């Protein structure tokens, strides 16, 4: 594995030659779904780098073509809409990749990726990533599946817009975020990435004032607790019932 110093927006700290434990990756992530030999080879590709909270890992419109493999922490994926406002598209966590579309297609960045807190990532040069995917078709298949899952997630959000009121849409989103990125904590499942009310409004397709009211209702009903840095799901069974997911697998 190479060693280098990378300087990024928002502050980047060097981290090279350090070992990140490969156990415990989320099952739905790229690293969590790979067999050990493929996962080890992927983890040994590129340069390991530490980013501070608020650092911009990738910027929309840029033509750099490396990808990033997140080894710890959480990121927000945002894009600029026609009126110049920034819109939250997704959250990515340890075990996921970001920037793979530009790395594989050679196109400009379609979104900006920002660190929610301190995190470590493996910087994967485009050429090295291409070579690895040719040598290890199982990684290529897993990465394709990951991209397909993201498209399905986006399609579910669009269907939710048409089929459910705002309160149910927000409940469905919180259940998915808790399942993908939550961790057990005091009082429930903690979603560690702080999402602002405007960001939640973007993800569920609602006005910010409506989200404010719905969150207040969810807090008063004892379903969630919101804080400065995290949202805690306090009663997952009842939240799933509200989300019309009572028959789905937790």
Specify if 248 maps to a domain.
Answer: no
Based on the fold, state whether residues 24 and 144 are members of the same structural domain.
yes
247 alpha carbon, distance to own chain's centre = 25
Specify if 83 maps to a domain.
Answer: yes
Based on the fold, state whether residues 22 and 87 are members of the same structural domain.
yes
Please tell me the predicted confidence (pLDDT) of residue 111.
92
According to DSSP, the residues that pair with 72 across neighbouring strands are 120
Name residue, tokens 């269907």: 159
SS (H, E, C) the chain: CECCCCCCECCEEECCCCCCCCCCCCCCCHHHHCCHHHHHHHHCCCEEEEECCCCEEECCCCCCCCEEEEEECEEEEEEECCCCCEEEEEEEECCCEECHHHHHHCCCCCCEEEECCCEEEEEECHHHHHHHHHHCHHHHHHHHHHHHHHHHHHHHHHHHHHHCCHHHHHHHHHHHHHHHHEEEECCEEEECCCCCHHHHHHHHCCCHHHHHHHHHHHHHCCCEEECCCCEEECCHHHHHHHCCCCCCCC
Global pTM value: 0.74
Q: What is the pLDDT of residues 208-238, one digit of tens each?
A: 999 999 999 999 999 999 877 678 999 999 9
Based on the fold, state whether residues 21 and 103 are members of the same structural domain.
yes
Specify if 5 maps to a domain.
Answer: no
Please tell me the predicted confidence (pLDDT) of residue 215.
94
CATH number of the domain that 46 lies in? 2.60.120.10
Specify if 155 maps to a domain.
Answer: no
Based on the fold, state whether residues 185 and 103 are members of the same structural domain.
no
Name residue, tokens 């945002």: 78
Whole-angstrom Cα distance, residue 195 to residue 201? Answer: 10
Q: What is the pLDDT of residues 155-207, one digit of tens each?
A: 877 777 778 899 999 998 899 888 877 888 888 998 866 778 888 888 888 88
Specify if 19 maps to a domain.
Answer: yes
The boundaries of the domain holding residue 49 are: 12-150
Based on the fold, state whether residues 31 and 113 are members of the same structural domain.
yes
Q: Locate 227 and state its tokens.
A: 């804080």
Q: What is the pLDDT of residues 6-53, one digit of tens each?
A: 333 333 333 333 344 444 677 778 998 899 999 999 999 999 999 998
Among 150, 182, 208, give the residue marking a domain's end.
Answer: 150
Contact indicator for 139, 124 with CB cutoff of 8 Å: no
Among 123, 150, 177, give the residue marking a domain's end.
Answer: 150
Whole-angstrom Cα distance, residue 69 to residue 162? Answer: 34
Specify if 58 maps to a domain.
Answer: yes
Based on the fold, state whether residues 118 and 222 are members of the same structural domain.
no
Specify if 158 maps to a domain.
Answer: no
Based on the fold, state whether residues 144 and 189 are members of the same structural domain.
no
Number of domains in the chain: 2
Please tell me the predicted confidence (pLDDT) of residue 52.
94
Q: Locate 2 and state its tokens.
A: 């190479």
């Amino acid at each position: 594995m190479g060693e280098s110093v990378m300087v990024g927006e928002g502050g980047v700290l060097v981290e090279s030659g350090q070992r990140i434990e490969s156990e415990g990756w989320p099952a739905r992530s790229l690293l969590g779904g790979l067999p050990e030999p493929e996962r080890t080879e992927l983890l040994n590709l590129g340069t390991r780098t530490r980013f501070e909270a608020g650092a911009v890992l990738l910027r929309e419109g840029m033509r750099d073509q490396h990808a990033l493999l997140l080894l710890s922490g959480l990121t927000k994926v945002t894009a600029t809409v026609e009126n110049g406002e920034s819109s939250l598209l997704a959250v990515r966590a340890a075990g996921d990749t970001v920037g793979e579309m530009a790395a594989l297609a050679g196109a400009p960045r379609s979104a900006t990726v920002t660190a929610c807190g301190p995190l470590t990532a493996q910087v994967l040069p485009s050429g090295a990533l291409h070579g690895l995917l040719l040598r290890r078709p199982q990684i290529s298949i897993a990465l394709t599946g990951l991209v397909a899952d993201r498209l399905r997630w986006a399609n579910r959000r669009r269907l939710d817009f048409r089929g459910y009121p705002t309160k149910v849409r927000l409940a469905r989103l919180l259940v998915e975020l808790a399942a993908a990125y939550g961790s057990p904590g005091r009082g429930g499942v903690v979603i560690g990435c702080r999402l602002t009310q405007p960001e939640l409004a973007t993800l569920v397709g609602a006005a910010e004032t409506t989200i404010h009211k719905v969150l207040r209702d969810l807090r008063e009903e004892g379903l969630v607790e919101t804080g400065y840095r995290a949202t805690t799901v306090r009663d997952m069974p009842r939240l799933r019932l509200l989300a019309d997911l009572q028959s789905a697998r937790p």
